């Protein structure tokens, strides 16, 4: 067990390198299953989730190497198309292997992901989509068993533009016979990267980056080399911290991916200067209370909702933060209140009444983004904050305490086994 100990109320200053995006690399790793031969992925963030995915690919029988943010995946042979419970349970994105396995091998057994810290997260769109492509789906002993001789293209409409279902179905459809049209598809930058990677492998995909994607199946795909896009959620986390705490330059970002959060931190009163791929944020003298409603891309990301609430907890005035993607993603709220924040949850909204200051305390993180929000709060709080159960943060942020320490934060990791 580890915890982060933060002495708050220090200004941040300097530069921070943004890592490759977790949510982009995971589907790209799954897409490597679609081709025999060696896929090379650069700028792979060294995270618990990328290691879990690597382990899963290894369990399937794939050869995999991962050093210094570079990964090689050789999926020439797959021995066992089975994603076991203990890995899927650790990371829902393991479900991404379902589409590629059925498409290339005609069979997959993938444990059904359960709920998570912010409520039920079903996979019905993934399964209905695969059935539309002709797969036979059964549930046995908590496992999804999907089988198909050859998938056949079809028209699929999602009730909601799910990121995971869009990625999974695209990966299934690229090797299907004929045309698949996905309506109400997700157009997140991570899905765009997946599509572009698949096109580089020989896939035929139209409408990339729109809500209507058309895929013309091909017989075979070929391995390629790809560099992962910068993580817009990690970047957004540093932008939000900078809006309260100093002058930070984020290096190697794609500013266009961050327009919703940049717009909001300017309303808060922070200064933002964009210079090609770098973004400098200078803290607001007075933090204005600004409402946020999460939405699909290009809207304000649900993965930045918790961090936004942390910032709003010390704003002048009250704000309402509404999550339209996940109705129940507020486990950070009681922890922020332990620091003296004044936040109540009503339905899928948090009502944040800004307080003059928050004071360090012991808190506990419950998921990746909740951890990030507690770190930001700890950095803003007077005194010492201990963030416990910090293993969650390592799922999605590469060495976050080192990055904040380089900016002048007083933050260190303590192993409780010491």
The vertex-123 CA angle with 121 and 129, nearest 5°, equals: 150
Q: Give the residue, chosen from 12, 16, 20, 23, that forms a contact with ligand UD1 under the rule CB under 6 A.
A: 23
Using H for helix, E for strand and C for coil, what is the string for 343-378?
A: EEEECCEEEEECCCCCECCEEECCCHHHHHHHHHHH
Stretch of 35-43, 161-169, 213-221, 348-356 contacting ligand UD1, by CB under 6 A: 161-169
Q: Give the residue, chosen from 10, 13, 40, 121, that forms a contact with ligand UD1 under the rule CB under 6 A.
A: 121
Task: Supply the minimum distance, in Å, between the C-beta of residue 65 and ligand UD1.
Answer: 22
**Do 317 and 298 touch, CB atoms closer than 8 A?**
no
Tell me how many residues contact ligand UD1 (CB under 6 A).
20
Q: 95 vs 385, which CB is nearer to ligand UD1? A: 95
Q: Which residue, among 82, 96, 43, 40, has the nearest Cα to 63 in the 3D structure?
A: 40
Q: Which residue, among 95, 16, 23, has the nearest Cα to 368 in the 3D structure?
A: 23
Q: 112 vs 218, which CB is nearer to ligand UD1? A: 112
- At 206, is the secondary structure helix, strand, or coil? strand
Task: Supply the minimum distance, in Å, between the C-beta of residue 36 and ligand UD1.
Answer: 25
Instruction: State the binding string over 173-202 for ligand UD1 (x if CB under 6 A, else -).
Output: -----------------x------------
Indicate whether 123 belongs to the interface with ligand UD1 (CB under 6 A): yes
Q: 172 vs 380, which CB is nearer to ligand UD1? A: 172
Indicate whether 272 belongs to the interface with ligand UD1 (CB under 6 A): no
CA distance 85 to 143: 8
**Do 370 and 393 touch, CB atoms closer than 8 A?**
no
Stretch of 67-75, 162-170, 243-251, 377-385 contacting ligand UD1, by CB under 6 A: 162-170
Task: Supply the minimum distance, in Å, between the C-beta of residue 292 and ligand UD1.
Answer: 14
Q: Which two three-digit tokens encode residue 292?
A: 């946020």
**Do 329 and 323 touch, CB atoms closer than 8 A?**
yes
Q: Of 283-302, which residues contact ligand UD1 (CB under 6 A)?
A: 302
Find all residues with CB under 8 Å of 17, minimum gap 6, and list them: 251, 252, 403
**Do 99 and 171 touch, CB atoms closer than 8 A?**
yes
Indicate whether 26 belongs to the interface with ligand UD1 (CB under 6 A): yes
CA distance 41 to 75: 13
CA distance 373 to 289: 17
Find all residues with CB under 8 Å of 346, minimum gap 6, and list them: none
Q: Which two three-digit tokens encode residue 190?
A: 């991570």
Instruction: State the binding string over 43-82 for ligand UD1 (x if CB under 6 A, else -).
Output: ----------------------------------------
Sign of CA dihedral 161, 165, 168, 170: negative
Residues assigned a catalytic role:
116
232-245 and 368-380 helices cross at what angle (nearest 10)?
20
Q: Which residue, among 21, 22, 18, has the nearest Cα to 91 in the 3D structure?
A: 22
> Quick count: other Cβ atoms within 10 Å of Cβ 80?
10
Q: Give the residue, chosen from 71, 165, 213, 284, that forms a contact with ligand UD1 under the rule CB under 6 A.
A: 165
Task: Supply the minimum distance, in Å, between the C-beta of residue 220 and ligand UD1.
Answer: 27
Indicate whether 130 belongs to the interface with ligand UD1 (CB under 6 A): no
CA distance 202 to 274: 35
Task: Supply the minimum distance, in Å, between the C-beta of residue 95 and ligand UD1.
Answer: 8
Indicate whether 164 belongs to the interface with ligand UD1 (CB under 6 A): yes
Stretch of 157-165, 206-214, 307-315, 405-413 contacting ligand UD1, by CB under 6 A: 157-165
Q: Give the residue, chosen from 28, 34, 125, 366, that forms a contact with ligand UD1 under the rule CB under 6 A.
A: 125
- The pairing of beta strand 342-346 with beta strand 349-353: antiparallel
Q: 111 vs 302, which CB is nearer to ligand UD1? A: 302
Q: 268 vs 372, which CB is nearer to ligand UD1? A: 372
Indicate whether 326 belongs to the interface with ligand UD1 (CB under 6 A): yes
Stretch of 120-128, 339-347, 378-386, 405-413 contacting ligand UD1, by CB under 6 A: 120-128
Task: Supply the minimum distance, in Å, between the C-beta of residue 23 and ligand UD1.
Answer: 3
Q: Give the residue, chosen from 4, 93, 241, 380, that forms a contact with ligand UD1 under the rule CB under 6 A.
A: 93
Q: 168 vs 249, which CB is nearer to ligand UD1? A: 168
Q: 326 vs 330, which CB is nearer to ligand UD1? A: 326
Which residues make up the interface to ligand UD1 (CB under 6 A)?
23, 26, 92-93, 121-126, 160, 162-165, 190, 302-303, 325-326
């Amino acid at each position: 067990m580890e915890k982060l100990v933060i002495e708050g109320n220090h200004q941040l200053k300097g530069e921070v390198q943004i890592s490759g995006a977790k949510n982009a690399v995971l589907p790209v790793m799954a897409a490597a299953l679609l081709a025999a031969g060696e896929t090379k992925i650069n700028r792979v963030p060294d995270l618990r989730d990328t290691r879990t995915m690597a382990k899963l690919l290894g369990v399937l029988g794939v050869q995999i190497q991962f050093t210094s943010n570079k990964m090689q995946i050789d999926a020439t042979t797959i021995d066992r198309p089975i994603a076991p419970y203990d890995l899927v349970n650790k990371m829902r994105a393991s479900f991404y292997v379902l589409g590629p396995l059925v498409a290339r091998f005609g069979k997959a057994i993938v444990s059904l992901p359960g709920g998570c810290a912010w409520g039920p997260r079903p996979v019905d769109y993934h399964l209905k989509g695969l059935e539309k492509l002709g797969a036979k789906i059964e549930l046995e002993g908590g496992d999804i068993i999907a089988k198909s001789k050859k998938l056949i293209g079809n028209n699929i409409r999602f009730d909601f533009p799910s990121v995971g279902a869009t990625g999974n179905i695209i990966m299934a459809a690229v090797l299907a016979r004929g045309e698949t049209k996905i309506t109400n598809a997700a157009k997140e930058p991570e899905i765009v990267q997946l599509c572009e990677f698949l096109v580089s492998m020989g896939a035929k995909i139209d409408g990339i980056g729109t809500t209507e994607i058309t895929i013309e199946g091909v017989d075979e795909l070929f391995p390629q080399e790809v560099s992962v896009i910068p993580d817009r959620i990690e970047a957004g986390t540093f932008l939000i911290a900078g809006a309260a705490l100093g002058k930070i330059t984020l290096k190697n970002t794609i500013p266009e991916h961050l327009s919703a959060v940049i717009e909001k931190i300017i309303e808060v009163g922070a200064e933002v200067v964009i210079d090609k791929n770098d973004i400098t944020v200078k803290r607001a003298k007075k933090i204005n209370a600004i409402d946020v409603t999460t939405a699909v891309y290009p809207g304000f990301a649900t993965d930045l909702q918790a961090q936004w609430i942390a910032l709003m907890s010390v704003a002048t005035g009250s704000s309402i933060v509404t999550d339209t993607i996940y109705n129940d993603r507020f486990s950070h709220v009681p922890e922020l209140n332990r620091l003296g924040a004044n936040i109540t949850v009503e339905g899928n909204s948090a009502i944040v009444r800004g307080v003059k200051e928050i004071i360090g305390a012991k808190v506990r993180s419950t998921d990746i983004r909740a951890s990030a929000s507690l770190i930001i709060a700890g950095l803003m709080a007077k005194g010492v904050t201990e963030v416990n159960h910090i293993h969650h943060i390592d799922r999605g942020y590469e060495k976050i305490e080192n990055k904040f320490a380089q900016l002048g934060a007083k933050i260190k990791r303590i192993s409780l086994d010491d």
